[in-house]
Amino acid sequence: MTKVDRRTVKTRDAIYQALIELMSEKDFDTITINDISNRANIHRGTVYLHYADKFDLLDKAIRDHLENMLNFCILSKLPEEKLDFDHSLLSMFLYFEAHFSFYFTVLTNKGVPCFQKQLIELVKNGIMERLKVSGNYEERNNEVAIQFILSAYVGVVEWWIKNNMPLSPQDVAEQLWDMLEGYYVPKNSNINGPRSI
């Protein structure tokens, strides 16, 4: 059973790598299952054993990457820290840096809107939780704050990756946190709070 599992993982990795390589060469819309299977050196039927189509493959690749990023942020925090989105800013940019080629490919390739949608959903959930913890979450006014912070996070991530990481992860995380810190400090606090990155 272990051998079968390893073979399955190896096959999926080959399919995934084939897709990313092809996406760095041409638009996703023009890539076919035959292209993917030929690049992965497997039969096209094998691709269909694991994925419904190329859209399913791309969706799962993006979902896996974002889940891995979230897990990386959780594991990289200090034991005494809570999982706050501000605490994970630096970890998030470090993860993007380590997997730059993947994120650059999905952000710059035409026909890949699903990455932005999944990233927005992930970030939005984190923002809502953090605003509730900070005491800055009000039912009537939450949408404007959430959309503002969400646009800042996602916009900076996209700009940073598309422009080949012009700042270090530390610099971009620090500057972003400096701009958004006010939204994450509890209302009744008389202090600016500790730096989180």
183, 149 contact by CB (below 8 A) = yes
| pLDDT confidence of residue 112 | 74
In this prediction, residue 82 carries a pLDDT of 44
**pLDDT single digits (tens) 97-152:** 999 999 999 888 876 767 888 888 888 887 777 667 666 556 556 788 788 888 88
User: Where is the domain boundary, 51, 74, 92?
Assistant: 51
Q: pLDDT at residue 197 above 50? A: no
Tokens at 83, concatenated: 């999982």
CATH number for the domain harbouring residue 9: 1.10.10.60
The whole model's pTM is what?
0.75
In a domain, 79, yes or no: yes
Q: For residue 135, what are the contacts with CB-CB under 8 A and spacing of at least 6? A: 186, 187, 188
**Are the CB atoms for 19 and 58 separated by under 8 Å?**
yes
Q: Are residues 39 and 59 in the same domain?
A: no
Split at pLDDT 50, 70, 90, the class of 41 is: very high
Q: pLDDT for 9-23, tens place per residue?
A: 899 999 999 999 999
- Determine how many CB atoms are found less than 10 A away from the CB of residue 27: 12
Total domains in the fold of the chain: 2
Domain that holds residue 89: 55-184
Same domain for 180 and 108: yes
Answer whether residue 172 is part of any domain: yes
Output the pLDDT for position 141: 64
193 within a domain of the structure (yes/no) = no
Residue 77 binned pLDDT confidence (cut-offs 50, 70, 90): low
Residues 78 and 25 in one domain: no
Give strand ranges (E) for 86-195: none
- Measured CA to CA, the distance from residue 89 to residue 176 in angstroms comes to 9
